[in-house]
């Protein structure tokens, strides 16, 4: 997550300070509530944002026909995403705890060593639960192990480098005055937990709505792994922004997806799929159209057709159900 602070300093800082003009009736706190017949149904943020199935048959199968998706068709990616999230949160919380309040006691080399050691312990703990899990057979577990080591190294390095950079910019250091490393950390890595679960039933979303982070009090975000799906990422950010607006009556104009990928060729995690999204009128309208289409499937209970684009279906958990024996039709 500390990558986001670096990214803001280098690229997105000026962008996220801009004000975006948004029609008031497209803000989460002012949107028209769902009509009563649709309000009996709701969608989780991931159900809403999943854009693989163009006919919304996936929603029908999971929520009307109550077919369980075959998890083995998405063997380990979903778990890996949760583990990555836990590892990043743990590293952030640990770094914050270990900082002295007196700048004279700030020893960057010790912090770096401790962060790495703690991160590796956490990684071992997280992965130990999956040693006998068939979804993690073959190279999956060892690849993840090495990927998490890369994340630990990269995040520890960034934390220490950026903190040292920030401290070094303070002229008070030159005059012998003190700095408070904890305060510097909080300013630099300005991630707030969302203080309470977001209630968003009037928006058609299943509660609770739980974004991964709020950055600098103006950017709502989520951590993703696996395939890069731009439209799905955007819809995730819009859903979180609307829910946050509805709960706190504070405007959110940007969403950020921190996409962390594994690389076999580099000793560091790859953030190429990470993106900042503007939550503008167009994105908000797309959210309502998609939500209404999916809620209609739940209300009308008519089974949608199989979408004709078979390759697009391959990552779907209902692939066997829809395409079993039909590939050569
Ligand atoms: S396999 Fe294809 S048609 Fe069937 S639910 Fe999934 S995406 Fe939709």
Tell me the pLDDT tens digit for each residue of 279-299.
999 999 999 999 999 999 999
Q: Which carries the bigger pLDDT value, residue 329 or residue 247?
A: 247
Mean predicted confidence (pLDDT) in 7-28: 87
Instruction: Name the pLDDT band for 328 (thresholds 50, 70, 90).
Output: very low
pLDDT at 272 over 70: yes
- Write down the pLDDT at residue 175: 60
pLDDT in tens, 143-165: 999 999 999 999 999 999 888 88
Q: Cα separation of 11 and 18, whole Å?
A: 13
Task: Output Rg (C-alpha) for the chain, integer angstroms.
Answer: 22
Q: How far is CA 23 from CA 95, 218, 238, 253, 284, in A?
A: 40, 18, 14, 12, 10
Please provide the DSSP assignment of 45-89 as one string.
HHHHH--S-TT-HHHHHHHTS-PPP-GGGS-SHHHHHHHHHHHHH
Place of tokens 């058609």: 204
Q: Cα separation of 4 and 11, whole Å?
A: 10
Q: How far is the CA of 6 from the centre of ligand 1 (A)?
A: 39
pLDDT in tens, 26-66: 999 999 988 888 888 899 999 999 989 999 999 999 999 99
- Write down the pLDDT at residue 305: 96
Mean predicted confidence (pLDDT) in 210-239: 91
- Mutational test site, ligand 1, from 50, 58, 227, 297, max ligand atoms within 8 Å of CB: 58
- Mutational test site, ligand 1, from 62, 69, 316, max ligand atoms within 8 Å of CB: 316
Q: How far is the CA of 202 from the centre of ligand 1 (A)?
A: 28
Ligand 1, residues at Cβ distance < 6 Å = 52-53, 57-58, 61, 306-307, 313, 316, 318-319, 322
- Write down the pLDDT at residue 292: 95
- Mutational test site, ligand 1, from 66, 305, 318, max ligand atoms within 8 Å of CB: 318
Mean predicted confidence (pLDDT) in 175-180: 68
Nearby residues of 204 by Cβ (< 8 Å), 6 or more positions away: 34, 38, 39, 41, 42, 43, 48, 291, 295
Q: Cα separation of 158 and 1, whole Å?
A: 10
Instruction: Name the pLDDT band for 309 (thresholds 50, 70, 90).
Output: very high
Claim: this prediction has a pTM higher than 0.85? yes
What atom of ligand 1 comes closest to residue 316's alpha carbon? 6
Atom 7, ligand 1: which residue's CA is nearest? 53
Nearby residues of 293 by Cβ (< 8 Å), 6 or more positions away: 56
Q: Hey, what are 269's tokens?
A: 């995690």
- Write down the pLDDT at residue 304: 97
Q: How far is the CA of 303 from the centre of ligand 1 (A)?
A: 12
Q: How far is the CA of 152 from the centre of ligand 1 (A)?
A: 37
Handedness of CA 128, 132, 136, 141 (dihedral sign): positive
Whether residue 201 contacts residue 207, with contact meaning beta carbons closer than 8 Å, is answered with: yes
Atom 4, ligand 1: which residue's CA is nearest? 322
Q: What is the mean pLDDT of the chain?
A: 87
Mean predicted confidence (pLDDT) in 231-235: 96
- Write down the pLDDT at residue 157: 93
Q: How far is CA 26 from CA 40, 147, 253, in A?
A: 22, 40, 11
Report which secondary-structure segment, H or E, holds 259: strand 254-259
- Report phi then psi at 183, rounded to 5: -65, -40
- Report phi then psi at 294, rounded to 5: -70, -40
pLDDT in tens, 88-113: 989 989 998 888 777 777 788 999 99
Whether residue 55 contacts residue 307, with contact meaning beta carbons closer than 8 Å, is answered with: yes
Q: How far is CA 219 from CA 183, 230, 276, in A?
A: 21, 17, 9
Instruction: Name the pLDDT band for 71 (thresholds 50, 70, 90).
Output: low
Whether residue 222 contacts residue 211, with contact meaning beta carbons closer than 8 Å, is answered with: yes
* Residue ranges per structural domain of the chain: 25-300
- Write down the pLDDT at residue 162: 87
Q: Which carries the bigger pLDDT value, residue 278 or residue 132?
A: 278
Whether residue 82 contacts residue 223, with contact meaning beta carbons closer than 8 Å, is answered with: no
What is the SS3 assignment for 138? coil
Q: Which carries the bigger pLDDT value, residue 168 or residue 319?
A: 319
Report which secondary-structure segment, H or E, holds 222: strand 219-224
What is the SS3 assignment for 267? coil
pLDDT at 254 over 90: yes
Mean predicted confidence (pLDDT) in 1-7: 79
Q: CA torsion, points 191, 193, 198, 203, in degrees to nearest 10?
A: 20
How crowded is residue 227: how many other Cβ atoms within 10 Å of its Cβ?
12
Mean predicted confidence (pLDDT) in 125-140: 86
pLDDT at 176 over 70: no
């Amino acid at each position: 997550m500390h990558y986001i602070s670096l990214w803001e300093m280098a690229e997105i800082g000026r962008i996220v300070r801009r004000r975006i003009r948004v029609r008031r009736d497209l803000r989460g706190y002012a949107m028209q509530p769902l009509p009563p017949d649709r309000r009996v149904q709701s969608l989780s943020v991931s159900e809403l944002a999943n854009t693989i199935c163009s006919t919304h048959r996936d929603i029908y199968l999971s929520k009307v026909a109550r077919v369980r998706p075959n998890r083995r068709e998405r063997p380990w990616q979903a778990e890996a995403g949760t583990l990555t999230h836990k590892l990043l949160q743990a590293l952030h919380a640990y770094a914050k705890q270990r900082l002295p309040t007196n700048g004279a006691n700030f020893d960057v080399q010790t912090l770096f060593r401790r962060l790495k050691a703690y991160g590796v312990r956490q990684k071992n703990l997280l992965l130990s639960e999956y040693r006998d899990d068939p979804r993690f057979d073959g190279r999956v577990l060892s690849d993840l192990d090495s990927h998490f080591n890369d994340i630990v190294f990269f995040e520890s390095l960034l934390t220490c480098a950026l903190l040292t950079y920030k401290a070094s910019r303070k002229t008070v250091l030159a005059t012998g005055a003190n700095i408070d490393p904890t305060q510097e950390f909080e300013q630099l890595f300005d991630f707030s937990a969302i203080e309470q679960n977001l209630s968003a039933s009037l928006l058609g979303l299943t509660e609770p709505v739980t974004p991964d982070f709020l950055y600098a009090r103006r950017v709502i975000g989520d951590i993703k792994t696996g395939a890069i799906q731009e439209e799905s990422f955007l819809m995730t950010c819009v859903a979180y922004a609307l829910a946050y607006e509805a709960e706190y009556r504070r405007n959110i104009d940007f969403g950020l997806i921190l996409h962390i990928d594994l690389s076999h060729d580099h000793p560091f995690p790859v953030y190429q799929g990470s993106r900042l999204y503007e939550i503008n009128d167009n994105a908000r309208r797309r959210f309502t159209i998609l939500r209404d289409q999916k809620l209609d499937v739940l209300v009308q209970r008519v089974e949608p057709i199989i979408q004709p684009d078979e390759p697009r279906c391959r990552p779907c958990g209902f692939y066997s159900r829809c395409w079993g024996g039909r590939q050569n039709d």
